[in-house]
Amino acid sequence: MEIVGSRRKALHYDAVSTIPLYRSAPALEVRLEDFELFAMDRLRVLKGISDALSRGKKPEEMQQVERDLWKANMKHPEASEVVNKDIISHFVLRLAYCRTEDLRKWFLSMETALFRYRFMSESVEAQRALMAEFDLPYKAVSNAEFESTKDKLWQVARSVVPPLSTADTVFYKVPFEEVPELVAGRRVFVHKGHAYVARNQVVSLVATQFRSHLSKALILTNRKWISTIREQESDRLAPIVEALCTSYLGPDYSEPRELGDISIKEIDQIAQSSFPLCMRHLFEKLREDHHLKHGGRMQFGLFLKGIGLKLDDALAFWKAEFSQKVGAERFDKEYAYSIRHNYGREGKRTDYTPYSCQKIISSSPGAGDHHGCPYRHFSEENLRAALGKMRLNNRAVEDVMDKVRSRHYQLACTLTFEAIHGTSCDAGINHPNQYFTDSQKYLQSK
């Protein structure tokens, strides 16, 4: 796979079956941006599967979960590029997740689960083609043989828990040693050295093979990473790869929120009720000083964009404040440009996304700055005061301070949210815009 600047060249990919098997890195070229974006989209799918599994979703439900996640994240405007995105994203994640035992284990489990659900959704012919790809020399049981063994096959089907559907008449005859799990559980009829595997059971076999191939590939990838790639790509791909595992994956709030746009008139009110502490602080300081330094403008400005403030309204808002300090002309000359820039109307035309908690927490506000995460960057005294102003009771304040001391800043913010709204926030706060959306949702449901 070749990573290039911004040139693009589509190449053929011989799709033998609908699900790619990721046997070897394909001869595709990919843009640097796509390198990261595709991987993050796929990571959302894998994390979504991981979440659903840990919430105890049943296998039947998981197939639908996978379908929804895939549809939501793995599309591409050009239909021909969908498969490429699938493949590229897998291989990029291999790089990211080959580096430690724990990462490999997680990636292996999720990719295998993903493969399993996709396989189950395929047609019979596609499944057969995939089985052939895995060198699973499975012959379907002939009609004659089926007739003579079907009583036993159905007896087995009804003896297992949960029972297999006896409507399924497709069975594969397989050397018993190739399906040890099924034999061990007495989930197959075994005769003269062959196991008779129902179509539904074949999924496990294919998934096992997939997993074993990927497991070996990950080890090789890790070796390559350590020996050559990490060094060679230390200022291009390596930072992207290393960040992938910890990146924020929630909604990026670049789309205007469904709840409709905000007008400037509403800002004061919603700031009181629904802004997280970091944004309340910035807003307060903006109102107080009629100014914010660059870090604060970025953090707060993008947040406002995320909650639905349109460009024109934003310009008016900031102008109203700043012109009290620097005057209207200077505002137009020096500050308006960067606001338009944030909205993607200037220069590179990148539509910047509001900062996530992770990003905010890791920033380093200096003298005169008000951005950053109060739970991290404020002194204990100032933080207590701020929480008091939000009308948290003593008990809640202590709980929050407790979290702060153990450096769980997002949990501290979550507790604040819960204390103010009087409701629980199971998902935890990961993004200021999420805090805002959840808050609005809750308030409007009352």
List binding-site positions: 278, 357, 373, 413
Crossing angle of helices 432-445 and 264-274, rounded to 10°: 90
The residues, any chain, with a CB within 8 Å of residue 188's CB and separated by 6 or more, are 156, 176, 179, 182, 195, 196, 197, 198, 201
Among 148, 155, 273, 423, binds another protein (CB under 8 A): 155
| Min separation Cβ 82 and another protein, Å | 38
Per DSSP, what are the bridge partners of residue 139?
173
Q: Does 192 bind another protein (CB under 8 A)?
A: yes
Nearest CB to another protein, comparing residues 160 and 390: 160
Q: Does 185 bind another protein (CB under 8 A)?
A: yes
Nearest to 284 by CA among 302, 295, 296, 294: 296
Q: Does 428 bind another protein (CB under 8 A)?
A: no
Residue 312 near residue 329 (C-beta atoms within 8 A): no
**Structure letter (DSSP) for residue 80:** G
The CA distances from residue 419 to 142, 178, 391, 414, in Å, are 67, 57, 9, 9
CA 54 to chain centre: 15
Nearest to 85 by CA among 47, 37, 117: 37
Among 61, 68, 181, 268, binds another protein (CB under 8 A): 181
Among 42, 90, 194, 281, binds another protein (CB under 8 A): 194
By CB under 8 A, which span of 96-104, 112-120, 179-187, 312-320 interacts with another protein?
A: 179-187
Among 139, 152, 236, 325, binds another protein (CB under 8 A): 152
| Min separation Cβ 133 and another protein, Å | 23
Q: What are the backbone angles phi and psi of residue 173, rounded to the nearest 5°?
A: -100, 120
By CB under 8 A, which span of 190-198, 228-236, 348-356, 386-394 interacts with another protein?
A: 190-198
Nearest CB to another protein, comparing residues 188 and 404: 188
Q: Does 184 bind another protein (CB under 8 A)?
A: yes
By CB under 8 A, which span of 52-60, 180-188, 321-329, 428-436 interacts with another protein?
A: 180-188
CA 298 to chain centre: 24
Residues that bind another protein (CB under 8 A): 152, 155-156, 158-161, 176-177, 180-181, 183-186, 189-194
